Structure 1
Amino acid sequence: MRLVVMLFAVLFALPAVAADKASQAAFDREIERNAVQAAVWGIPVVNYDLMRQEMLAKTPGKVGQVIYWGRPLDWRNQTLTPNPDALYFMVFFTTKDGPVVLDLPPAEEAASFNGNIVTAWQLPLEDAGLLGYDKGKGGKFLVLPPNYQETVPEGYIPLRSEVYGGYMLFRSNLASHGDADVQASIAYGKKLKVYSLDQADHPPETVFTDVKDVLFDSTIRWDGSFFENLNRVVQEEPWIARDRAMIDPLKSLGIEKGKPFAPNRHTGTLLTKAIKEAQTLLEAKYDAGLPPFFSETSRWTYPAYPDLIKAAQANFDDPDDCPIEHRGVAYSYAYVGIKRLGAGQFYSISTRDKEGHPFDGGKTYRLTVPANVPVQQYWSITAYDRKTHALIKNVSLASRSSQIPELAKKPDGSIDLYFGPKAPRGQEANWIPTDAKRKFELMFRAYGPTKDFFDKKWILPDVDRINN
């Protein structure tokens, strides 16, 4: 009799056990789905926080101070698709204690800059410099905290931010890569000042730290630490109205304002699985290609999706459009935001050769840059690691530009550039090295593009592979 009772107990318990397992599987799937969504949504602030944490962990630099790279960028700068043909100055700021002044110098006869000021979400607040809001006059750009109600003093350019944190990327332009021009560019960049508005009457000295020899790696970490970066910013910043739908999904991951983020082992495993899925998704979308720029069949594309460019320039305020997925893709391969894309600078990306094959670092390729590039400042071509979207590690240089006087020109004024593991004989000055073991991608930069550029009166041809 006792055996029969026990058998009945087991049989009646089985459906409950099965139901518990099914419920747990459903909850697990929910966490994974929410984590993938959170990664795609949150990658701009994770991208921002990775750079900020790299500064805090590896350099003496602090929030409110300026770090800079005291030579043209090399592979030690492992940020996403940076420009090796300008000197980078970078300042992270927070307005939690009040407005912050970014006091930027006017252009000089032989010195100028291109700058972008963005929020922690990397939404553009304003562009500055020769082709920015100030048109080279410089000015006191005043970043205001959320919902700032006080009167803005005269003489300032107010920038209203939805969040406290943000940063400015200040590119001090180079006449050439020669030592004298580099030093002149550094001296000019050090004329910028950063201070709080309440210090405006007697601004303290701005602190500058040269980080040129630091391995500064802010490439996206596709592991569980992604959510630690995301949690840090969620704790620091106010919720933006359009993002309130993310509050509950983040709670399911253990990310909640005012509470510690401490996922247990099981949840941690789910988050790791989800971030890998997010990586696969974003890489697949990027690999599918951005819209072509120079023609319908061009392998040179827009730098981001046109709907994302439009939304960012409008501060994501269009009630009928919110391209979060396209934003997620963009901040997996690049950083910073541009308010006036096409006025100060325009970028174009190529990941494939003329025949549609991905660039192989073990092959040799040629790009012919036609004469008379329609730019007011300069143009450049940079090669990046296709997987990390950073400069290719352990190569001697990453780019060639119109600032390089030794570039060999053909009789018609055009320039042949070469990409590959070895320079073709006699083409060392026109060669950009690649890693034979890795794929690569290219970015063309036009600083100060003119109307002819956008009217497609000048066309950048596709890249040809010239050996097997």
Structure 2
Amino acid sequence: MSVSGATGSGLTPEQMREAIDGLSSADTIDSPFGSLQFFDGVPRPDTVSTVYDALDLMRGIEVFLNAVPGASLVAMRRGLQSAGITSPQVIGFTDPRANSRSLFLTPNTETTYGTTFLDLRAWGPTVIEAPPQSLCVVDDFWFRYVADMGIAGPDGGQGGKYLFLPPGHEGEVPDGYFTYHCPTYSNWVVLRALGGVPEIKQTRIYPLAEAAAPEANEFVNLAEQVFNTVHSNDFSFFEEVDELLQEEPTDALDAERAGQLAAIGLVAGQPFTPDERMRGILTRAAEIGAGIARTVAFESRDPEAVLYGSWKVGFVGGSHEFLRNGARLLDARTQFHYLATVVTPAMAHAQVGAGSAYAYTIHDSRGDLLDGARTYRLHVDPDVPAKNFWAVDLYDTQTRSLLQVPSTIWPALASNTGTLRSNADGSHDLYFGPVAPEGQETNWVETIPGKSWFQLFRIYGPLEPWFDQTWRLNEFEPLD
């Protein structure tokens, strides 16, 4: 064996002492978790407990940040079940559109949603007949992309039959379907149809075994109900993750994240029963993890998260798998999933004239945080590069759901409503504050004193000036 820096037959005494020094630990190490004490490199008894408390806390924080996608869909399923979406046979929809009554991560108020969960354990191979002119997505229970259906899918918006097979399926696969093998039994289905509710109701979901005479689907209007689909930020977050872990195959999750879960007692086939010490550590881990998640979501330090000015983008790196040069962008994955739902390449790689483009900010033109007690103006320049239309939706920074205000259940302004007043040059001045400026009621969204808020500016069918940035968003200008 050779040692770097050695010459001749071996190390000099001085080189040996330097090598030993480089391999040694001090008897006292200051750390964020307290002083660590060693006797000639061996931890003293108090240090052993300090180190393992620290390690468990760090692992708990890592699990929070890396398991947000899975916990998010567990909460989504629970919320939908409470609203009556109890099997794939039942499809929820929003008529006329989503509103602020319920808690959803950053939904839009401009399009009609449909949704349900596939249960491939109960139903086995399952068929979805996608409606024409739709934008539909299936994500697995760990919130990974499975398939696009409709305009972004292989049917190209003509409508088609899609077959979803359960994990490990080895049976014969019939012809006539767009077929996908799913890594999890539960899979989230999101439906958006350009024709609204009538086209959503053309969706058909049924077991392949009943394809010859499928039972009619039941449709439940979610817009009038009140329920929560947002994951927890306290100890129960880990219980949400455990629910998923106990249901799905062990190979549905990569070994690295599975190892993180196992390190804090989340193991498939075993009860999650942390003792008082571990429960206290995980409670703290959830609080810290949520604080970190909020920081990377609202103030990402990745340069690619910045669109320009204070405006940010949700899909950093343009990858629906959050990859850059073969490396997982851990903060980008947390950033997206803490704020939003639905993972598809069609969102990460918006195309000219198709799909949607998104931008958000938490700052005004002075760099201050948006404050619900203040009034702001957003000047939208003319010729917005939108093939279809554009919209601004406001969200609560705590729940990341639509802002709940007394004046409306749709805290948004959109160019397709026919109510916005434009300026002579085709531009628009939009106002946000606790009271509408005189004469600007149609161009105003209410905010709440004592609360912050953020928004998503959406462009439906973004055109070239959006991508080459020859057209840009302005900043929110405080008026008081």
TM-score surpassing 0.5?
yes
- Where 1:446 maps in the other structure, the secondary structure is strand
In structure 1, the residue matched to 2:319 is 310
CA contact (8 A) 1:220 1:332 kept: no
- 1:385 to 1:104, Cα distance in 2 relative to 1, 3 A: same
CA contact (8 A) 2:164 2:179 kept: yes
Q: Where in structure 2 are there 5+ consecutive unaligned residues?
A: 1-38
Work out which of the residue numbers 134, 147, 161 in structure 2 matches 1:140. 161
Post-superposition CA distance 1:332-366 (Å, at most 9, x none): 11111122221312211111112221111111111
In structure 1, the residue matched to 2:120 is 95
Post-superposition CA distance 1:97-137 (Å, at most 9, x none): 42222211113xxxxx3222211122222333345543321
CA contact (8 A) 1:120 1:166 kept: yes
Q: C-alpha separation between the residues in 2 aligned to 1:421 and 1:132?
A: 43
- Where 1:216 maps in the other structure, the secondary structure is coil
In structure 2, the residue matched to 1:377 is 388
In structure 2, the residue matched to 1:432 is 445
Q: C-alpha separation between the residues in 2 aligned to 1:446 and 1:148?
A: 40
Larger relative contact order (Cα-Cα within 8 Å, sequence gap ≥ 6): 1
- 1:255 to 1:295, Cα distance in 2 relative to 1, 3 A: closer
CA contact (8 A) 1:363 1:421 kept: yes
- Where 1:251 maps in the other structure, the secondary structure is helix
| Letter of the structure 2 residue corresponding to residue 100 of structure 1 | T
- Superposed displacement of residue 283, structure 1: 1.6
CA contact (8 A) 1:126 1:159 kept: yes
- Where 1:93 maps in the other structure, the secondary structure is strand
Question: After superposition, where does 1:78-227 map in structure 2 within 5 Å?
Answer: 78-96=103-121, 97-107=123-133, 113-173=134-194, 185-227=196-238
Work out which of the residue numbers 333, 337, 348 in structure 2 matches 1:331. 337
Q: C-alpha separation between the residues in 2 aligned to 1:160 and 1:349?
A: 35
- 1:275 to 1:295, Cα distance in 2 relative to 1, 3 A: closer
Q: C-alpha separation between the residues in 2 aligned to 1:223 and 1:134?
A: 42
- 1:128 to 1:462, Cα distance in 2 relative to 1, 3 A: farther
- Superposed displacement of residue 390, structure 1: 0.9
- 1:222 to 1:360, Cα distance in 2 relative to 1, 3 A: same
Q: Where in structure 1 are there 5+ consecutive unaligned residues?
A: 1-14, 108-112, 175-184
In structure 2, the residue matched to 1:272 is 283
- Where 1:325 maps in the other structure, the secondary structure is helix
- 1:289 to 1:255, Cα distance in 2 relative to 1, 3 A: closer
In structure 2, the residue matched to 1:254 is 265
Q: C-alpha separation between the residues in 2 aligned to 1:77 and 1:283?
A: 21
CA contact (8 A) 2:74 2:231 kept: no
CA contact (8 A) 1:348 1:444 kept: yes
CA contact (8 A) 1:223 1:272 kept: yes
- Superposed displacement of residue 20, structure 1: 4.5
Post-superposition CA distance 1:407-430 (Å, at most 9, x none): 101111111111111111111111
| Letter of the structure 1 residue corresponding to residue 202 of structure 2 | K
CA contact (8 A) 1:106 1:138 kept: yes
Q: C-alpha separation between the residues in 1 aligned to 2:219 and 2:260?
A: 40
Of stretches 20-29 and 59-68 in structure 1, the one that deviates more from structure 2 is 20-29
| Letter of the structure 2 residue corresponding to residue 224 of structure 1 | F
- Superposed displacement of residue 145, structure 1: 2.3
Work out which of the residue numbers 376, 396, 405 in structure 1 matches 2:418. 405
- Where 1:78 maps in the other structure, the secondary structure is coil
Q: C-alpha separation between the residues in 2 aligned to 1:152 and 1:416?
A: 56
- 1:128 to 1:346, Cα distance in 2 relative to 1, 3 A: farther
Of stretches 330-339 and 141-150 in structure 1, the one that deviates more from structure 2 is 141-150
Q: Say how many residue pairs are matched.
A: 430
| Letter of the structure 1 residue corresponding to residue 149 of structure 2 | A
Q: Identity over the aligned pairs, expressed in percent? A: 26
Please say if 1:415 is aligned against 2:428. yes
In structure 1, the residue matched to 2:76 is 51
- 1:132 to 1:399, Cα distance in 2 relative to 1, 3 A: farther
CA contact (8 A) 1:294 1:459 kept: no
CA contact (8 A) 2:152 2:346 kept: no
- Where 1:371 maps in the other structure, the secondary structure is coil
- 1:126 to 1:449, Cα distance in 2 relative to 1, 3 A: farther
- Superposed displacement of residue 248, structure 1: 3.6
In structure 2, the residue matched to 1:4 is none
In structure 2, the residue matched to 1:61 is 85
Work out which of the residue numbers 453, 457, 464 in structure 1 matches 2:466. 453
CA contact (8 A) 2:66 2:334 kept: yes
CA contact (8 A) 2:379 2:430 kept: yes
- Where 2:250 maps in the other structure, the secondary structure is coil
CA contact (8 A) 2:132 2:193 kept: no
CA contact (8 A) 1:380 1:401 kept: yes
Q: TM-score, normalised by structure 1?
A: 0.85
- Where 2:98 maps in the other structure, the secondary structure is coil
| Letter of the structure 1 residue corresponding to residue 57 of structure 2 | E
- Superposed displacement of residue 311, structure 1: 5.1
CA contact (8 A) 1:311 1:321 kept: no
Q: C-alpha separation between the residues in 2 aligned to 1:241 and 1:136?
A: 30
- Superposed displacement of residue 150, structure 1: 4.3
Work out which of the residue numbers 429, 436, 457 in structure 2 matches 1:444. 457
Q: C-alpha separation between the residues in 2 aligned to 1:101 and 1:458?
A: 43
Q: C-alpha separation between the residues in 2 aligned to 1:128 and 1:261?
A: 37
Q: C-alpha separation between the residues in 1 aligned to 2:389 and 2:153?
A: 16
Q: C-alpha separation between the residues in 2 aligned to 1:248 and 1:338?
A: 27
CA contact (8 A) 1:294 1:460 kept: no
- Where 1:328 maps in the other structure, the secondary structure is helix
Q: C-alpha separation between the residues in 1 aligned to 2:304 and 2:149?
A: 25
- 1:128 to 1:379, Cα distance in 2 relative to 1, 3 A: farther
CA contact (8 A) 1:163 1:237 kept: yes
CA contact (8 A) 2:372 2:447 kept: yes
Q: C-alpha separation between the residues in 2 aligned to 1:380 and 1:104?
A: 26
Q: C-alpha separation between the residues in 2 aligned to 1:335 and 1:281?
A: 19
- 1:345 to 1:291, Cα distance in 2 relative to 1, 3 A: farther
